[in-house]
Amino acid sequence: FQNVSDLGKSMTARISAPLVAAGTLGFKFAAELEDAFGASEQIYKDNAGFVQDWAGSLPAYYGIAEKDALTYANTMGAMFQNIGGLSREEAAKQSTKLIELAGDAAAMFNGTPEEAMYAFQASLKGNNTMLDNYGMGVSDATIKTKALEMGLESAGGQLSIADKQAATVALII
């Protein structure tokens, strides 16, 4: 009977414990994905379905999981709307495009999509130094030049934050 008892303990340790851990992780992942869906509905409203469908069908070669794609899109969408003044629809389009570019940049420059997204998000707030890691020489001068090419010039020749953001995105793309 001792051998049977030892076998039961061994099976519990080797099989049951990992299954419980996997179930816990699966529940956590599902909860985080649900949170990301809820956030996209708040940020994008009527355009949430577009972003959610895009995240769910993002090809694996970008190296970005659905939950991460939604989380990135939510952050970028909020930034595009709050800093850049874009509509929800335009924010959704720009966000998804930049996330795909982040996946490409990470592959090209031996980084991770998360690092590339961090660099892109920082650039939307005016910090372009990390774009150098992805072969993009974005500076105040190049932003101003691009903004002028795009016809973006605020009163007194100064660029607004939204204008700078639009020019930066154009340079990244």
Q: Which two tokens stand for residue 64?
A: 């970005």
| Residues in contact with 39: Cβ distance below 8 Å, sequence separation at least 6, in sequence order | 70, 71, 74
Residue type, 84: G
- Tell me which residue of 157, 173, 160, 153 sits closest to 96, measured CA to CA: 173
Q: pLDDT digit string (tens) for 93-113?
A: 999 999 999 999 999 999 999
Q: What is the rounded CA–CA span in Å between residue 65 and residue 72?
A: 10
Residue 91 has phi, psi (to 5 degrees) of: -60, -40
From 6-15, 18-27, 119-128, 144-153, the region with the lowest mean pLDDT: 18-27
Tell me the per-residue pLDDT of 27-63, one tens digit each, with 9 for 90 and over. Answer: 444 556 577 788 899 999 999 999 999 999 999 999 9
Range name among 1-15, 59-73, 125-139 with the lowest pLDDT average: 1-15
Q: Which tokens belong to 46?
A: 């009527």
Residue 27 pLDDT: 42
CA triple 36-37-42, angle to 5 deg: 95
Alpha-helical regions (H) of 45-87: 48-57, 66-82
Q: What is the mean pLDDT of residues 109-137?
A: 93
Q: Among residues of the chain, what percentage have pLDDT more than 90?
A: 66
